[in-house]
Amino acid sequence: MRHPLIAITLAFITASAWADNLLSERAGFTTVLTEQQKITEAMPHPPAEIFKVVQYDSEIGPMSAYLSQHQLAENEKRPAIIWLTGGFPTSSPGEYLWTEIDVDNEQSARVYRNYGIVMMHPTLRGGTKGNPGVVEQFYGEVNDVISAAKYLKSLDYIDPNRIYLGGHSTGGTLALLVAQATDMFAGVIALGPSSDHYGKKRANFEWQDKEIYLRSPRNFMSYINTPTYIVEGEQGRAANIKDFEQQLAAKPNDKVTTALIKGADHFNLIHSINTLFANAIVSSKSGALSIDVNKQLIPAYLTYVKKVQETTDLRILANLRSQGVVLDGKQAVESYYYARSQKPLNVIAQQAKAQGMSASAITEKTAKDGSVFYMASMSKSIDISSLAEVFAASKAFKTLADEQELYYDYWTLASQ
C-alpha cells in the first residue's frame, strides 16, 4: 500500500508539472478555515494632502485602500507601487502609514511617495471594517493584491509598465506569493519574508499538508517571471534567506535575487533598501528594475549605517555642549561593552590595544534578575573638535562591538 505522505507528495509533484503559476496550483482547491477572523475597526482617516481612501473591486467585492496624492502635470504618467505592511493581518490600515517615525523601523515605506511614486496601501479581505470576506492568511489575499494592481493600472495617470509590488515581513511573504501568481508587476521587493507559513499557532486554517504547501513561497520559486529581490538582515530571520537560496540552487531562476545584509536586522534595513529601489524606479523610464547586490544594495545599507552613526555622534556632541563641556583639544573618549562571559571582552581588548586604545579591567556585574554579566570600557584620546576624529573613533567602537555581537554604549568623554 502506498504511504499516504508519499501519495500527497506525488500529488503535489504531478500538479506542479501541469501548473504554470501559483493560481494554477490552487485551481480546484478550497481552503478550509478553522477561524473566521474579521477586523471590525474602521480605517483611520488620512491627511487629505497625503492619502485618500479609494475602493478597488476584488473577486468578492469592493475593498478599501489608501492612495497617495501628488501634484500632477497634464498628461503625466507616474510609476506606482503597492506596499504591503507586515504583521497580522497583513497590510493593515493605520496612522503609522503617514506618521513620521524613526528610519530604524520605517515600515510605511514613505520614501516611495517622497520620490513622487504613487503608493497604494490596500486593505485585504477581512482586514478592515466594511471589507468583504475574512482573513485567510496568504490565500485569497493573493487575489486581492492582483485586483488592487488592476485598479492602479486603470488610472490614467499611472504608467502601466511601471507598477511595482513590495512588502515587509508578512507583507514580503505575501508579495512573493503574488509574484508567483502573476507577472503583471515590473518588479517585486520582498523585505524579510518567510519561506514557509508562520506556524500552527498562527494558523487560522486547517493544519494539513496542502493548506501549508499552497501558502509557502519556498515551493513556487520557479514560477516567478518578474525581477524579484528578497532581502533580509543577517541579524533578522536569516534562515529564510538560506532556505530560498537552497530552493534556487536546486532549481535556478535568474529572475530572483537574494541578499543577506551583514550587520542589519529585520527592521533597520527597510529605509535604506527602499530608498535604493525608489531611486531605481524613478530613474528607469522603461520600467526595468536591475539592482546589483554587491555594487548597489549592500553599499546602500552601509551608507545608511554611516549616516545614522554620525547623526548619533553629533547628538552626543550637542548634549555635551549643552551641559557646558568645552569641546576643544585632546580629550579621552570611551565606550562601555557588555557580555555574558569574559571571553569576547578579552578579544576586543586585544583588538582595541592594537588600534592604540586603552582597555579597562573586566568587571563582574549582577543584573536585576540575578544573572551575571561582564563589563569593560575602551578609550582613546582624540581631538574632540575634529569631527573626522570623532566619527573615526565612534566607528572603531562600533566595529569592536559588531565583530563580537556585543551590546555597547556609543561613547562619551572619559571624564563624564
Q: Name the region of 169 (left: φ>0; alpha: ψ -120 to 50; beta: rest).
A: left
DSSP β-bridge partners for residue 64: 55
Distance CA 192, CA 166 (A): 11
- pLDDT (tens digit, 9 = 90+) per residue, 38-58? 999 999 999 999 999 999 999
Q: What is the CA radius of gyration of the chain?
A: 25
- The pLDDT of residue 214: 98
Q: Which amino acid does the sequence have at 269?
A: L
- The pLDDT of residue 416: 56
- pLDDT (tens digit, 9 = 90+) per residue, 318-347? 999 999 999 999 999 999 999 999 999 999
Rounded to 5 degrees, φ, ψ at 99 are -85, 130
- Count H helices and E strands in the chain, helices first: 11, 14
- The pLDDT of residue 102: 80
Q: Say if residue 381's pLDDT is above 60.
A: yes
Q: Is 175 helix (H, G, I), strand (E, B) or coil?
A: helix
How confident is residue 191, by pLDDT bands cut at 50, 70 and 90? very high
- pLDDT (tens digit, 9 = 90+) per residue, 225-265? 999 999 999 999 999 999 999 999 999 999 999 999 998 99
Residue 156: Cβ-neighbour burial (10 angstroms; 0-12, 13-18, 19+): exposed
Q: Say if residue 355's pLDDT is above 80.
A: yes
Residue with the three cell numbers 475574512: 134
- The pLDDT of residue 195: 98
How confident is residue 103, by pLDDT bands cut at 50, 70 and 90? confident
Q: Which amino acid does the sequence have at 272?
A: S
Q: Say if residue 100's pLDDT is above 90.
A: no
Q: Say if residue 17's pLDDT is above 60.
A: no
* pTM of structure: 0.88
- The pLDDT of residue 56: 98
What is the percentage of the chain residues whose pLDDT exceeds 90? 91
Query: Over the range 306-322, which residues count as b (16 or more CB within 10 Å of their CB) and which as e?
Result: eebbeeebeebbeebee
Residue 369: Cβ-neighbour burial (10 angstroms; 0-12, 13-18, 19+): exposed
Q: Say if residue 150's pLDDT is above 80.
A: yes
The grid coordinates listed for 139 are 490565500
Residue with the three cell numbers 509557502: 216
Residue with the three cell numbers 471590525: 40
How confident is residue 18, by pLDDT bands cut at 50, 70 and 90? low
DSSP assigned state of 362: P
Q: Say if residue 10's pLDDT is above 70.
A: no
- The pLDDT of residue 104: 84
- Residue 290 has a CB neighbour count (10 Å cut-off) of 10
Q: Say if residue 2's pLDDT is above 90.
A: no
Q: Say if residue 114's pLDDT is above 90.
A: yes
Average of pLDDT values for 394-416?
91
State the chain's mean pLDDT as an integer.
94
